[in-house]
Structure 1
Amino acid sequence: MIEIYGHGGDRETAAEQFGRPVSELLDYSANMNAAGPPPGLLDYLADCLPQIMHYPDPAHRRLRSLLAERNHCTEEQLVIGNGAAECMALLLLALRPERVGLIEPCFSEYAQLSGQYGSEVIRIHGRKELDYRADAAEICELIPQVDLLFLGQPNNPNGVQYVSEDLRRIADTARTHDVTLVVDEAFTDFIPRARRVSLQSELEQYPNMIIVRSMTKFYAIPGLRLGYTISSPQLSIRMRSQQVTWSVNTLALAAGAWCLENSEAAEYEQQTILHNRSQRDRLHEHLTGMGCTVCPGEANYLLAELPEPWTAEHFQMAMGQHGILIRSCAMYPGLGSRHIRIAVKDEDSNTQLLKCWEQIMIDPQQAEMR
């Protein structure tokens, strides 16, 4: 197991465990844009380096203005954070819910942060026949039992969305019971705009809703950390009151602004969506052909259940010996010992992954590791 900190993308731990330099690892355990940062961004950030001699703008004015324009909302509705995880921490600190509801499996930070800030976590589980979503009726039964509910849209690790009818039913129930609904849309940018299911345009009807977005994953800048929330101005004020001054650094703010106003980034966004869909379909087809059960996710990752008798732990170790990192999902409540998650990468990397996957599946020496 390489997820000793509860997440994928821990290349240092993997390098120690598999005896390989970090530079030789092909990381499928973290879900970043396979294209890397938009062309021109790194050169722009190099030009911005002298700015680190000064404090960042504590009000995030330039980026807030651009995000408001992009999302057709007001600047007062936005909170910019040091990654989506800080945004979640801020809303928990601001609202101090006694009980937090989760639909497992889901992003591990929901439970970790809730426990860290003193909330009791109440869980229900998604159903396999619903691709590990919960039935909307079950979620609506959970809502009166909690003060705040986290909902992934699309959810991590299964990558699926709730349909518009169910999402609106959940939001209506949360509003009726005065429960805060936190909709995590960190991966929505990977989905074609016509297929995204969001209630952002209806926020005025749901003053108890907070939408969480990430710029880290889509623009491949996880080392900079950049996320934001959209909610009512009243909720935004409460969240900002909990934020440490200068928590968002100068380079992160500059990168976010560049991505939103540069024409090169606009073309990159469209190419990313097209590439992600084609390569995700390719991986889905090949993994199914090798005996895996694969969720029909819409994000830039796939949840798969390995064929018996493989377990996630043993398959992760076998792949790691070949320098390829995958995410074991065996520790996710609601999933089993054979569940793994892989990112969607570029064509050449995916070819390498599939070739190694097939080799491990049929090689008797690898089979001994099971």
Structure 2
Amino acid sequence: MLAVHGGNTEEIARKYNLNSKEILDFSANINPVGLNENVKAAMINAIDKVVKYPDITYFDLKNSIGEFEKLDISNITLGNGAAEVIFNIVRALKPRKALLPAPTFSEYEEAIISVNGEIEYYKLKESNDFNLDDEFINKIKDDIDIIFICNPNNPTGCLTKKEFIRKVLNKALTTNTTVVIDESFLDFVKPNELYLSNDLLIDYKNLIIVKSLTKFFAIPGARIGYGLCSNNEIINEINKVIVPWSVNVIASEAIIQGLKEKDYIDKSIVYVKNEKEYLYSALKEIDSLKVFEPSVNFIMFKLLIDLDLKSELIKRRILIRSCDNYIGLSNSFYRVAVRTREENNKLISEIKNILFDK
């Protein structure tokens, strides 16, 4: 079974006989600032390069990422989105058993299943606001080959401090376990020194960091992500399973330009922070919702009455993410992206209208 994701506006439009362009999509967590004009120009200019294969070494792209992350390019592996990087890691390492928090991003589970691996779930507790705790570390046994931690976690938005990750890594060293930290949304967090794991790479050869570039630069259709690891043996194993030319030249040129756009990056962080706080405060005022404190550009909440809120909002051409397919969550949980002020107000207004009518 394929994982269920947000952003499926075309599928929803077909199902409900709607025009996809009329759907206000709160189900995909994309930078609401939108596509940077210089990045767009770089993508348009890259059209002329499609008559040739991409540089199979991706030297310029890896060099840009290396400068951005302050790491040597030998520590970088690329993928057609962060999801492909996750699958490449799993297919390279072929773990027999994985430890996953639940709820969390579904692609970890899908990747493990693709190599017939076993999964042990650590159920995060609503009473603890779905945060990881020391009980998770106690679950790391000799039979656990790989661990995935999403930081911040999707869909809960919980941040995990670097010092906790260090404790996980130390325990994992004793069990010969690889630890994968997915930081796909961490670029939206500033300051993020308490959470970034980059400086742990040198000391921990069992650490892999996964990053997504398309969410922050608002180009999810372009598909590009990368992994970071200081263990040459792991990098070499991952490179063996990578499909050649998996990143197209348009996506590559977009990111080379995007990583230079410091003003856009800074503006996006401030904008998302302000809108996140605005939307969070507005949702908290609605009595029928239990809203969990967000850290980045999405917010999870629990509906306290019996109602299919997603279906009700679709009638109003608004798409949100139901969390009923996440292990550890029920159909009472929903996730919404942080969008522009006008769009956020539209969501708030329609939720109030629906709940008032009920």
With normalisation by structure 1, the TM-score equals 0.93
- Structure 1 match to 2:159: 161
Q: Give 5+ residue unaligned stretches, structure 1.
A: none
Are 2:257 and 1:258 aligned? yes
- Structure 2 match to 1:213: 211
Residue 242 of structure 1, CA deviation: 0.8
CA distance in 1, matches of 2:319, 2:175: 43
Change (3 A) 1:213 1:272: same
Question: Which residue of 293, 297, 302 maps to 2:294?
Answer: 297
2:321 corresponds to which letter in structure 1? Answer: R
1:277 corresponds to which letter in structure 2? Answer: K
Change (3 A) 1:351 1:105: same
**Residue-pair matches, total:** 356
Are 2:244 and 1:245 aligned? yes
- Structure 1 match to 2:333: 339
CA distance in 2, matches of 1:226, 1:304: 29
1:320 corresponds to which letter in structure 2? Answer: I
Change (3 A) 1:5 1:153: closer
CA distance in 2, matches of 1:286, 1:51: 47
CA distance in 1, matches of 2:154, 2:192: 20
- Over the aligned positions, Cα root-mean-square deviation in angstroms equals 1.5
Q: Is the 8 A contact 2:189 2:269 kept in 1?
A: yes
Decide which structure has greater helix share.
1
Question: Which residue of 329, 346, 352 maps to 1:352?
Answer: 346
CA distance in 1, matches of 2:263, 2:112: 38
- Structure 1 match to 2:310: 316
Residue 142 of structure 1, CA deviation: 3.3
Residue 160 of structure 1, CA deviation: 1.1
CA distance in 2, matches of 1:136, 1:105: 17
Question: Which residue of 33, 36, 39 maps to 1:38?
Answer: 36
CA distance in 2, matches of 1:248, 1:193: 30
2:248 corresponds to which letter in structure 1? Answer: N
Q: Give 5+ residue unaligned stretches, structure 2.
A: none
Three-state SS of the structure 2 residue aligned to 1:142 is coil
TM-superposition CA deviations, 1:245-287 (whole Å, max 9, x none): 11111111111101112xxx21111111111111111111111
Residue 15 of structure 1, CA deviation: 0.5
CA distance in 1, matches of 2:191, 2:79: 24
Change (3 A) 1:143 1:149: farther
Question: Which residue of 271, 274, 281 maps to 1:278?
Answer: 274
With normalisation by structure 2, the TM-score equals 0.96
Q: Is the 8 A contact 2:88 2:238 kept in 1?
A: yes
TM-superposition CA deviations, 1:79-120 (whole Å, max 9, x none): 011100111111111111000110000001111111012111
CA distance in 1, matches of 2:43, 2:278: 34
Q: Is the 8 A contact 2:27 2:335 kept in 1?
A: yes
TM-superposition CA deviations, 1:177-230 (whole Å, max 9, x none): 110000000000110134550221121211011000010100011111010011
